[in-house]
Amino acid sequence: MRTKTWIATRPNPGGLEIQRAAGLITQEAFDTGVQKQRADRPGRYFLGQMAKSAGYHTAFFGKLGVGYTETAAMIRGYGFDHHVGLYDSVICWSYYPEYYWRNGEKVPLPTNPAFTGKYPDCPEVGKPEMVYSEDLWLENCLSYLDERAKDNEPFLAVYATQLPHGPASIPQEDYIYENRQDWTEKERIGSTPPGQRGKPSSWGTGS
C-alpha cells in the first residue's frame, strides 16, 4: 500500500522584523533566520498559487503569510499579486505599528509608537492621532474590491485580521464607555458594540 507523508510548513521565528527595526539584530541575522525559498519547495502549494493558476488576480490584507516572519518575496512566492499589511506576527500584537507594508514598500505611520525593543507597544486604547491598523486593512481591502468589481475579472482576496491577538485594542473614537466608572477598565474597553462608527474597526472581528 502506498502512503503519502504530509509535512507541515515550518514557520520562521517570530519577532525577527521588529528586532531588526529596533536595531537589536543585523540584516544578516534577519536573513539567516528567514527561509526565503520556502514557497519554492516541490510538492507544496499555496492558496494564492492555485488561484493564480486558474486565472485569478490575488490579494492579501492584514496579517500576512503562513509563518511568523515573512518578506515581500515570500508573499509573492505564495502567489499573491497585491498585498497590504504586516509581515511579522509579533508586530501584529499591536494595533498601532510604526509602519506597514504595501507590495514590499514600507509605509511609515509616524504618529504611532516607534519600535524600540523585542515587542511592540500595545496600548489598549489609542490616542486620537494614532492610526489603528485594522482600519487600514479594511479600507485597503474594500478599495481593492471596488477596483476589481470594475474589471469584472475573477479574483481572490484574503483578509486576515490581527484578532484574536491581544491585547485587543480599540481606537479612541470607539471608547464610548470611558466614563462608566461602575465598570472595570477591561469592561469599558471590551464592550464597544459593532457598527458604532461609519467604518467601524469591529467589522474586521472574526473575518
pLDDT digits (tens, 9 = 90+) for 161-178: 987 666 678 888 888 888
Residue 3: inside a domain: no
Residue 36: inside a domain: no
What is the reported pLDDT for 12?
62
Mean pLDDT on 29-43: 69
Residue 7: inside a domain: no
Residue 93: inside a domain: yes
Residue 11: inside a domain: no
Q: pLDDT averaged over the chain? A: 83
Residue 155: inside a domain: yes
Return the CA Rg of the chain: 19
Q: Give the range among 40-44, 148-152, 176-180 with minimum mean pLDDT.
A: 40-44
Q: Report the distance separating Cα 68 and Cα 55, nearest Å.
A: 29
What is the reported pLDDT for 166?
63
CB 31 within 8 A of CB 19: no
pLDDT tens string 103-135:
999 999 999 999 999 999 998 889 999 999 999
Phi first, then psi, for residue 142 (nearest 5°) are -65, -40
The residue count for the chain: 207
Residue 2: inside a domain: no
Q: What is the pTM of this model?
A: 0.82
Number of domains in the chain: 1
Full residue range of the structural domain in which residue 101 is found:
16-31+44-204
Q: Report the distance separating Cα 186 and Cα 157, nearest Å.
A: 33
Half-sphere exposure of 34 (CA within 13 A, CB side): 25
pLDDT at residue 154 tops 90: yes
Q: Report the distance separating Cα 130 and Cα 34, nearest Å.
A: 30
